[in-house]
Structure 1
Amino acid sequence: MQRNLWNSLKATALLWRWALPGMVVIGLVIAARLTGSLQSLELLTLDTFLRHRPTESKDDRIVLVGIDATAIQQTGYPIPERDLVDLLNRLQTYKPTVIGLHILQNQIAKLDNATLFATLKQRQNLIISETVLSTTDQIPLPPGFPANKIGLIDLILDGDNREDSHVRRTILGTFDPLNAEVYKLSLTIRLVEAYLSAQDKSLTLKNGLRDKEAMRFGSTELPRLKPSGAYAGVKTGSPQILLNFRQHHQPFRVLSSNEIRAGKVDPNWLRDRIVIVGITDPKIRPIIPTAAIAPTNSLDIQAHTVSQIISAVLDKRLLLTTWTEGWEYGWILGWGVLGVYIDRRTRGLIRTLFAAGIANLLLVGGSYALLLLQGLWLPVLPALIVLNLSVVLPAVYSYVYEHEKTLKTRLDERQRTIEQTFNTLHNGPLQTLASLLRQGRDNKLPQEQLFLTLENLNAEIRGVGEHLKQEALTQEESLHLRSGLKLDLKLPLHELLYEVYTNTLERSDFSQFATLKTSCYFEPLEKRPLTIDQKRDLCRFIEEALCNVGKHAEDATHLDVTGTQSQKWYCLRVFDNGKGIATAAPGEGTKHARKLAFRLGGKFKRETSSPQGTLCELAFPLTKLWFQ
C-alpha cells in the first residue's frame, strides 16, 4: 500500500514537472492582465479585428450637417445666434424626426442669453448639447430649455500609451458631478429615444432586464462595459458601451451648412431622419483619434453611436459585448492547458509546431468569427501568449533538463566506473600488496616467495585491467573476483554472496583464514528487486569486510557471516572475535560502505564488540525508495 502511494506521488511529481513551466506562464499572464499591463495590446487586437470586418451599407437614417471652415469664414466664430437659428429653421422645413445640435453654448455668439433660440419656429424636436464630466467652467444652458431636450457630448479617450489615445467607448449617461440627484443622458440616447418612439411607441427607454443598470429599448439591451482585464482599473460606473463603428468609407450622408442655406439638397435626404448639426472645422473641433476606423471628428462619433443603437434595435445589428471576468480567465487558462497538452503529447519539432499552428489558427479565427457573428470580444492576446509560451517554454525546459540529465548520467556513470575500478583493485591487488608489505616489514617472506608473489600480483593487475576493458566493450553484467572467477550478476543475491564468501576465504595471502571456524548463511532476498550495480556493490561490501578480517582480526578463532531479512529490513553481518581494528580515520572501504548504505536508503556500522571482536553491518529496507 505504501509503495503504491509513493509510486503515485512520484508519477504525479513527474507530470507536474513537465506542466510547471506552462502553469507559471499562465499565472504570470493572468497577473499581468489583472494589473492592466496587457490593456494596450488587447485594445490593439480589438482595433485590428474591427478594421478587417466586411464592408457594411451606408446608414441613410442619419444625416450630418457640418459647419465647415468655409462657413466659419463667412459667419465668423463664435457662430452668430441669428445664423444658427436661420440654419435650424431651414432644416425644420425638411421635416426631420429629430435634430441634434452638437454645438456648445460658448461656441454661439449670443446677443442676449435670455432670448437664445427664442426665434426658433419649432424646437420640440431639437436637442442641444452640454458637457458634464468636467466640473470646472461648466457652460450655462439657455434658461427655460426642457431638461429632456439636453444631452451630454463628453468623450472618453483610452490612454493607449503616454503619447497616443483613442476613442473606443462612449458614455450613455451619468449623474451630474455638481448635483448627485440629477441624472443626465447623452445626446445620442436623446436622439435615439426620439427617433425610435417615432417609429414605434413601445420602443421607449427603460432599464435592462439582465442588467438592471443597463439601458434598453424594447427587447434590445445595451451591454454595459464592465471593468475587466482589457479595462483593468478603468472607472466604468456610468453606463458605457463599446463603439461598434459602421464599416464603410462614408457611413453617413454629410451636407454642409452652406448647401442647406442654398437649398441644394434633396428633401428626401432629410425627411424623417436624424439630423446632427455640428462644427467640422478642424481648427475648432480637433480630429479625434480612432484606431478601428480613420481618424474622425466628434460629430462622426455621435453619429456612429446613434447608428449602432438604432441598428441594433431595428435591424438586429450586433452590439459589442464581453464575457464576465470569470469566463475570460477560464478561457485563458484553457488555452494555456492546451499548450501544455500539445507539448506533452507531440513528439518532434515539426509535429509540435504544426499542432501549435493549428491551435493558433483556431484561436484567432474563432475569436474573429465570434466577433463577427455574435459581437463577442474575447481576450485573444492573453490566450495567444499562454498558448504559445506553454508550448515553447516546456520544450526549452525539457531540452535543458534532458541535457543536464544526460550530463549527470554521464558523470554518474564515470563515478561508478571509478568506484567499481577502485573496489576491484582494493579488494584484489591492493589487498595482496598490503599483505606483501606487512610480511616484508616482519622479514617473514623469503626472496623466492617474494618474487613469486610479485609475479602473481602483476598477473592479477593485468587480469583486472583486461576484465574492465572487456566489461566496457561488451557491457558485460558480471563480477570479477581475484581468482579470475566471473560471477553472473543476474543470479539471486544470496548465491552471489555465498560465492564471494567462499572465494575470499580461499585466498592464500590471508593465512589465518585456514585456522578460523566459520559459519555462513545468506537468506534469499524476495521483497526488493536490486539493480546489477546494487548487487555488485553488496558483493564488494562482503569481500571488503572479509578482507578486513584477514588483515586486522588478530587471534580470531571464529567468523560468522550472515544475511537475514526481517519484515522491513535486510541485514548483512560479518562478525569475528579477534582483537579488532585500532581507532583511526575511516579508510576508503568504510567510505564506500557508507555511500552504499546511503544509496540503498539504509545504514552502516563498524564497531568493536565486548569483550572483544568486530562487527561490520549493512542494513537496507526491503521496500524500494520512491526517489530511486
Structure 2
Amino acid sequence: MIMWAKLRQQLWQWRGVLIAAPSVAALLIGLRSAGLLQGLELAALDQFFRLRSKESVDSRIVIVGINEADIQKAGHWPLSDAKLAKLLETLKQQQPRAIGLDLYRDLPVEPGHQELIKVFASTPNLIGIQKVVGNSYGLAVNPPPTLSKFGQVGANDFVVDTDGKIRRSLLTLKDKSGKTIPSLATRLALTYLETKGIKLEIIDETKQKYKLGKATFTPFNAHDGGYFFADAGGYQILSNFRNLRQGFRTLSMTDVLQGRVPVNSVRDRIVLIGVTGESVRDSFYTPYSSRQVSQAATSFAGVEIHADVVSQILSAALEGRPLIKVWSEPMEWLWIFGWAVVGATLSWIRRYRDGVTQRSPLTVVSIFFAGGGLVYGNYLAFLQGWWIPVVPPVLALAGSTIAISSYVAYTATGMRQTFGRYLTDEVVANLLETPEGLQLGGEKRKVTILMSDLRGFSALSERVSSETAVEVINFYLEVMTEVISDYHGTINEIMGDGILVMFGAPIAREDDSQRAIACAIAMQLAMDKVNNKAQQMNLPSLDMGIGINTGEVLVGNIGSKKRAKYTVMGSPVNLAARIESYTVGGQILVSKDTLKEVGSIVRVDETLQIQPKGFQEPITVYEIGGIGGEFNLFVPKKEEVLVVLSQAIPVQYTVLQGKYMGEKVFQGTLVKLSTGSAQICSEYPVELLSNLKMNLVTGMEKARGLGDIYAKVVEISADSPTNFCVRFTGIPAEVAALLYYLRDSSSN
C-alpha cells in the first residue's frame, strides 16, 4: 500500500509530462507518417551537407567534359561518331582502369560510325549507358548495340525527389523484361575494384544485403530517414555526396584531342566522358544546390553526379568510409518520444516556484540549449554517416514545452483565480501539486502563528454607512495582504477585521519566525497608509494589535467531504489569539518560544507577565520594537506625555470579560491625559492588561450624545493599586475632540 501510494504521488506530480510527452510524440509521429514533415527533414539534411567541410579531390577519377566551347567548336550536337572514336582512342593510349561513356549512342551519328564500332569492340573496360526508365527528363533510351552485346552497359537513370533534387543513387534496376541492369557508377566501380581483387559477395540474398571490400550495402526502404512512401524501386542507397562541391579533376575534350593534357593524366584511373555544357541541359539539383537571394540554385552535370557515386562506392569498399545509414522506424519513434519527454520535463520542473506559476528565463534558456544540443548532436552523427531525424524531435521539444505551458495555464489559472481570493498561492499550489491535496487529513508541523486585530473598527462601523465601513476594511485588508505576501506568509483566515497568518505551512522555511516578526513590523508601518486613506474619508485613525506564537500544530485539510478547509489547529494557535488580546494599538507581543526561535536580532521594548485563560501559571510575553539582520525594520517609539488636567473628569467604567461586559459599574476620574493614554483614579483596583469600557459622566449621569470609550490597563501605580494608566483602544471622534480640548486647555 505504501509503495502504491508513493507511485500514485509520483504519477500525479509528473502528470503533465505523462500527458504532454506521449500526446506530442504521437502527433508528430502521425504527421511524419503522413509525409507532412518530409520537406523540412530533407531541407535539414541538405543543410548538413552544406555545413560539412570540403574534402580533398578524389584522384582516382577524371572527368573528360564536353563543355560549351567544345560544342561550339564541333559545330553541331551530338558529336559525330568519328570525333567520339578519336577521343576514346586517345584516352585508351593512357591505359585507364575503366572508361564510362555518359553519352547516348543507340543510333549512328555519321561520319565515322564503323570506326566507333571498332573502338567499342576493342575496349573491354569501356562502359556505355542506357536509360532504363522514362521520366520527366526524357524517354527510355537503348544502349549502344555493340557494347550491349558484350555486356558493357550501365544505366544512367537518376532518382529525383519531389523537390527536384537527387539524394539517392541507383546501384541496379530492372528493365521491362525483368533483367537487372547495374548503374553506370556501379559498373565502373566494380571494374576498378576487380583489378584490386575485390568482388561483390552476397551476405543475405533475401534482404539484398551485400559485401564489397570493407563496405556492406543494404537497400533503401520507402520510409528510411525523413522519407514517406518514397519510390524505392531498384536497388537504391542514400547518396553521401562528398566531391560535388570541390569537384573532380576535369579535362576538356578539345585539350584531350589536341594532346594538351599531361602524360599519364588518366593512367590507372576511372575516366568519365560526359557533357558539361549548359546548352545540352544535362544538369540536376543536389543537396548542395542552395538557392541564394536573387540567384538561381546551383546545378551539377549528370557526369559529375555519376563520378561522385563512383567515388562513394570506392571509398566505402577500399577505405571503409561509412555510407549513410538510418535507424529503424521504432527507434526513430522512440527518439522523437524521448525529446518530447525532455521538453516536457524541463518545462514541468520549473512551472512553479513558491506556489506561483513561473515563466522563468532559465526554462527558455534550458530549452534553447537542449534544442541546440539536439541539432549539433545530429550533425555530428551525420558526419559519421548517420541520418537521424532532426525536425520531428525539435518540434517535439518545442511542442511539449508549449503543451506543458498550455496545460498549466488551462488547469491552474481558473483554479488560482477562484481559490486565490480565499487562499494564498502557496496553499493553492499545495492543493494542485499533490494528489492528496484535496483529501482530508493533516500533519504535525512547527509553525509560527501571527494574529492581528484592528482596534476601533467595530465602533467606527456603527457610526458610518455600511458602504463606507466595507470600503475601509477592504482597503485595510488589501494593504495587509500585500505585506503578508511579501514575507511569504499564508493567510489562513480573515475574521472580520482580524487576520490569522501562518509561517511554515504549507511550505516550511528556516526563517519562518524571523519573517513572522518582520511581517508584523511591516504591517504596523503600513498602518500609516491605511490611516491616510481614513483621513481622506474624514474618519478617525485606526490602530492594530498583533500577537505571535510558535509551536507544533496540526496543519492540513480539516472538515468533511462537503466542506473542508486548509487550516491549523492546536494550543499554539489559541495562545497566539490570547497574546493578541493583550495588545494595544500599534503593539506587537510575542511568546517566549517565538523569541527563542528568532534570536538576538530583535529589539525588545518591554517584558510583560500575562495570565491567559486556560493557563495555570502566568506566561511571559515580549513587546517587539524592531528586527535587524536582513530585514532591518523598526517601529518608531511613541512618547506619551501625560498632561495633568486642571479639573478631574468623572468617568464610570466596567471591566470586559472577553467579549462581554462585566455586571458591576465602577466610578473613577481622569486626572491625566495624553494623545492615546490617560491616568485614572478609582475606588477599586483593577488587574493589569484588563479591557475597560468607559463613559464620561456629568453630574453623576451618563453624558448624553457621547459614545463609549474602550481602553486597556497598561500600568498600575506602585503607590496605589487604584491608580492606573490606560491606553485607548477605541474612542469616538466627538469624545476625542472633547478630550483634546480639555488636555489643551490644561497644558496652556
Q: Who is 1:292 aligned against?
A: 288
Q: In 2 relative to 1, CA 183–530 (structure 1 residues): closer, same or farther, beyond 3 Å?
A: same
For the pair 1:398 / 2:395, whether they are aligned, the reply is no
Q: Who is 2:76 aligned against?
A: 76
For the pair 1:91 / 2:102, whether they are aligned, the reply is no
Cα distance in structure 1, aligned partners of 2:53 and 2:282: 29
Structure 1 position 194, deviation (Å) = 0.3
1:192 alignment partner AA: A
1:222 to 200, 207, 217: 217
1:179 to 177, 180, 185: 177
Structure 1 position 75, deviation (Å) = 4.7
Aligned-partner SS, 1:159: coil
Structure 1 position 213, deviation (Å) = 0.9
1:404 alignment partner AA: G
Structure 1 position 319, deviation (Å) = 1.4
Paired residues of 1:339 and 1:390 also in contact (CA < 8 A) = yes
Q: In 2 relative to 1, CA 530–266 (structure 1 residues): closer, same or farther, beyond 3 Å?
A: same
Paired residues of 1:79 and 1:107 also in contact (CA < 8 A) = no
Paired residues for 1:136-285 under 5 Å: 138-144=140-146, 145-146=148-149, 148-160=151-163, 165-176=164-175, 178-180=176-178, 182-199=179-196, 201=197, 203-209=198-204, 212-228=207-223, 230-247=226-243, 249-285=245-281
Cα distance in structure 1, aligned partners of 2:222 and 2:193: 30
Structure 1 position 398, deviation (Å) = 1.8
Paired residues of 2:167 and 2:286 also in contact (CA < 8 A) = yes
Q: Who is 2:126 aligned against?
A: 126
Paired residues of 1:89 and 1:122 also in contact (CA < 8 A) = no
What do the CA deviations read for 1:228-247 (whole angstroms, capped 9, x no partner)?
Answer: 26111112142111111225
Q: In 2 relative to 1, CA 335–18 (structure 1 residues): closer, same or farther, beyond 3 Å?
A: closer
Cα distance in structure 1, aligned partners of 2:300 and 2:365: 42
1:206 alignment partner AA: E
Q: Who is 1:367 aligned against?
A: 378
My pick for the range that moved more, 185-194 or 246-255, is 246-255
What do the CA deviations read for 1:592-626 (whole angstroms, capped 9, x no partner)?
Answer: xxxxxxxxxxxxxxxxxxxxxxxxxxxxxxxxxxx
Q: Who is 2:361 aligned against?
A: 350
Paired residues of 1:42 and 1:380 also in contact (CA < 8 A) = yes
The root-mean-square deviation of aligned C-alpha atoms, in Å, is 4.2
Cα distance in structure 1, aligned partners of 2:21 and 2:388: 21
2:127 alignment partner AA: I
For the pair 1:384 / 2:385, whether they are aligned, the reply is no
Cα distance in structure 1, aligned partners of 2:416 and 2:368: 30
Cα distance in structure 2, aligned partners of 1:120 and 1:535: 98
Structure number with higher helix proportion: 1
1:76 alignment partner AA: H
Structure 1 position 13, deviation (Å) = 5.0
Cα distance in structure 2, aligned partners of 1:210 and 1:329: 28
Q: Who is 2:49 aligned against?
A: 50
2:332 to 325, 328, 333: 328
2:86 alignment partner AA: D
2:322 alignment partner AA: L
Paired residues for 1:572-587 under 5 Å: none
Structure with more relative contact order (C-alpha pairs < 8 Å, separation 6 or more)? 1
Q: In 2 relative to 1, CA 191–216 (structure 1 residues): closer, same or farther, beyond 3 Å?
A: same
Structure number with higher strand proportion: 2
Q: In 2 relative to 1, CA 214–111 (structure 1 residues): closer, same or farther, beyond 3 Å?
A: farther
Aligned-partner SS, 1:283: helix
Structure 1 position 64, deviation (Å) = 0.5
Q: Percent identity?
A: 29
2:325 alignment partner AA: T
Q: Who is 1:530 aligned against?
A: 559
What do the CA deviations read for 1:503-552 (whole angstroms, capped 9, x no partner)?
Answer: xxxxxxxxxxxxxxxxxxxxxxxxx942796489xxxxxxxxxxxxxxxx
2:180 alignment partner AA: Y
2:143 alignment partner AA: L
Q: Who is 2:33 aligned against?
A: 34
Structure 1 position 248, deviation (Å) = 6.5
**Which 5+ residue runs of structure 2 have no aligned equivalent?**
290-297, 352-358, 424-461, 482-490, 503-556, 567-748
1:38 alignment partner AA: L
What do the CA deviations read for 1:485-518 (whole angstroms, capped 9, x no partner)?
Answer: x9x9x9xxxxxxxxxxxxxxxxxxxxxxxxxxxx
Q: In 2 relative to 1, CA 120–147 (structure 1 residues): closer, same or farther, beyond 3 Å?
A: closer
1:122 alignment partner AA: S
Cα distance in structure 2, aligned partners of 1:352 and 1:107: 69
Aligned-partner SS, 1:254: strand
Cα distance in structure 1, aligned partners of 2:71 and 2:127: 22
Cα distance in structure 2, aligned partners of 1:297 and 1:275: 15
Aligned-partner SS, 2:400: helix
Q: In 2 relative to 1, CA 220–85 (structure 1 residues): closer, same or farther, beyond 3 Å?
A: same
Paired residues of 2:103 and 2:129 also in contact (CA < 8 A) = yes
TM-score by length of 1: 0.63
Cα distance in structure 1, aligned partners of 2:492 and 2:420: 18
Cα distance in structure 2, aligned partners of 1:281 and 1:477: 88
Structure 1 position 208, deviation (Å) = 4.0
Cα distance in structure 1, aligned partners of 2:52 and 2:228: 26
Paired residues of 1:64 and 1:276 also in contact (CA < 8 A) = yes
Q: Who is 2:313 aligned against?
A: 309
Structure 1 position 306, deviation (Å) = 0.2
2:162 alignment partner AA: G
TM-score by length of 2: 0.53
Cα distance in structure 2, aligned partners of 1:366 and 1:535: 51
Q: In 2 relative to 1, CA 23–234 (structure 1 residues): closer, same or farther, beyond 3 Å?
A: same
My pick for the range that moved more, 350-359 or 3-12, is 3-12
Cα distance in structure 2, aligned partners of 1:535 and 1:334: 41
Structure 1 position 107, deviation (Å) = 7.6
Paired residues of 1:92 and 1:122 also in contact (CA < 8 A) = no
Structure 1 position 364, deviation (Å) = 1.2
Structure 1 position 121, deviation (Å) = 7.0
